[in-house]
Structure formats: C-alpha cells, structure tokens
Amino acid sequence: MTAALMGDSGQGPDTPDLPADLHGRITFLAAPTEVAEAARDRLVALHGDAGPDDAVVVVALGGDGFMLETQHRFLGHNMPTYGMNCGSVGFLMNAFHEDDLLARLAAAQAATLHPLRMRAWDGDGTLHEALAINEVSLLRETRQAAKLRILVDGKERLPELICDGILVSTPAGSTAYNLSAHGPIVPLGTNLLPMTPISAFRPRRWRGALLPSEAQVVFEVLEPSKRPVAAVADYVEVRDVRSVEVREDRSKRLTLLFDPDHGLSERIIAEQFTV
C-alpha cells in the first residue's frame, strides 16, 4: 500500500521538536528482510539504540507496508517516525543512505495525520472498533454483490448502492487502495475524505464523493443474509457486518518526518500527472 500525509492546518509541514543531540535517543526498527535488518545493524552500531520506550524518534527501515505497521504500533504515542526505503514502493519513505542520518533528522519536516475510527456492528449486535491510517473498506464476502445504504451526518445520501464494495480513505490513503479503485487523490491540507465505490453496478455512473473531514458516515448493509459484507480498517477485518460508522478521530495523531526536498506535498502533485 502507498500513502501520503501532511500537517493539521494545511499550512505546510512543521519542523519537529527534536533534541539537538540524537545520539543514543533513536530506536531503529526493520522490516523482516535481510536488507532492512542488515541496515538496522549498521545504523545501531553507528548511533546506538535507545529502544522504543526511551527513544524520542523512530527510524523505520523497510517499505510502505512496514511504515504502516510501525505507525499502528505507536498509534497514540505520537512518536515522530523517519522512514528510509529498504522495500519496493517507498512512497512514505525517504531515500536510504546512512552516512548523514543525524543531519537529515535535524533538518526533517513533520507531516501529521489523523486516522479514521471504524465502529462496526455484526449480526449478533456486537460492536467492533478499529483505527485506520489508510482506509476503511466494506467488501462483499460471496459471489453476490453488496447492497448498501449510505448516510452522511444522519441524512440519507444514497438509498441503495449495489457494488463489490466501498471505501472511505484518509488523505494518506487517497494514493493507496482508493487510487486503485479510481478514486481521487486528495491534495494535502484540504481536510477532505474520499468516498469511493468499488465496481459499482447500480447506480452505474456514481463515482463517489468528497466529504469534509468532520463528516460522520454510516453504511447500512441491506439483505445481509443474502449479500454478506465484511468491514476492514487497515489490518482489522470484521465479518458479516450490519452497520458501519466511519469518522476521523482527531484525538489521535501520527507524525512522519521527511527530508525537505522529498516532501509529500510534491509527491501528491506529481502522482496526479503520472501516466
């Protein structure tokens, strides 16, 4: 998965409040690959490793999937994370080179994201809650298409959508599954959440919506016995849901660090002109 982030206010990236001397105050985390683990060993030998409990910044070595795992691990702690690409896509990562890491951290700019909170009720009436950094998606479980009713802020907006699924993404997730489903890339700082159908059958020409970030979205599953639906918030899947609520959780924040010449605003713009 790929993603993109930015500051809360939309006024551009901030400078992180990191101490001047970072030696021994970094924790290095590596994806379970030979390349990433070898890079971690070299960096620990150069800079020491404070461990997650005593560090003031995380350096994550891997790809975008590992960065997503790292953000979930530290969700609620607001630990600034600086990624270096030891994976494949690396949309959320800075370029990997290890010689000037402390200088790069000192010059890094911060980007902030609030996750989505999913509240899903299953057929037994049990409530399941999870946070999503990329997106919350509803997906059909069988050969039968899903049939959904959509409400936004308590008002019915679409009485019936027949589709393979639908998703609501963060600005981060707008370049991930949302883009693959032909949803719009959301420019940073717009405070918008894309809602994108997946293979919509009826209404055939409906392509989704852009919602304000404070919107509350409710999906009601119609004919759930005939057309069972699963709800997924990043890694958490709930089967046979009846109703799903999605909204931004501004009580949680994630902070990513980027080299000044490798900012996400530029990459978001460039992605829209990729052919």
pLDDT at 35: 95
d(CA 242, CA 148): 10
pLDDT tens for residues 186-227? Answer: 866 678 999 999 999 999 889 999 999 999 999 999 999 999
Does 190 count as an annotated binding residue?
A: no
Closest CA to 49 of 66, 30, 68, 35: 30
d(CA 88, CA 116): 26
Question: Closest Cα to residue 247, out of 208, 197, 211?
Answer: 211
Smallest CA-to-CA distance from 232 within 124, 114, 146, 153 is with 146
| Strands (E) located in 48-187 | 57-62, 81-85, 109-113, 116-122, 127-132, 135-140, 146-152, 155-163, 165-169
64 is an active site residue: yes
135 among annotated binding-site residues: yes
Instruction: For residue range 227-265, list pLDDT tens digits in order.
Output: 999 999 998 999 999 999 999 999 998 888 989 876 666
Q: Are 238 and 246 in contact (CB under 8 A)?
A: no
Q: Is 178 annotated as a binding residue?
A: yes
pLDDT tens sequence across 106-163: 999 888 889 999 999 999 999 999 999 999 999 999 999 999 999 999 999 999 999 9
User: Is 191 assigned a ligand-binding role in the annotation?
Assistant: no
**26-30 and 57-62 strand pairing:** parallel
pTM of the shown model: 0.83
* Residue 82, marked binder: no
> Which domains, from first to last, does the chain contain?
26-113+253-271 (3.40.50.10330), 116-248 (2.60.200.30)
Active-site position among 64, 99, 122, 234:
64
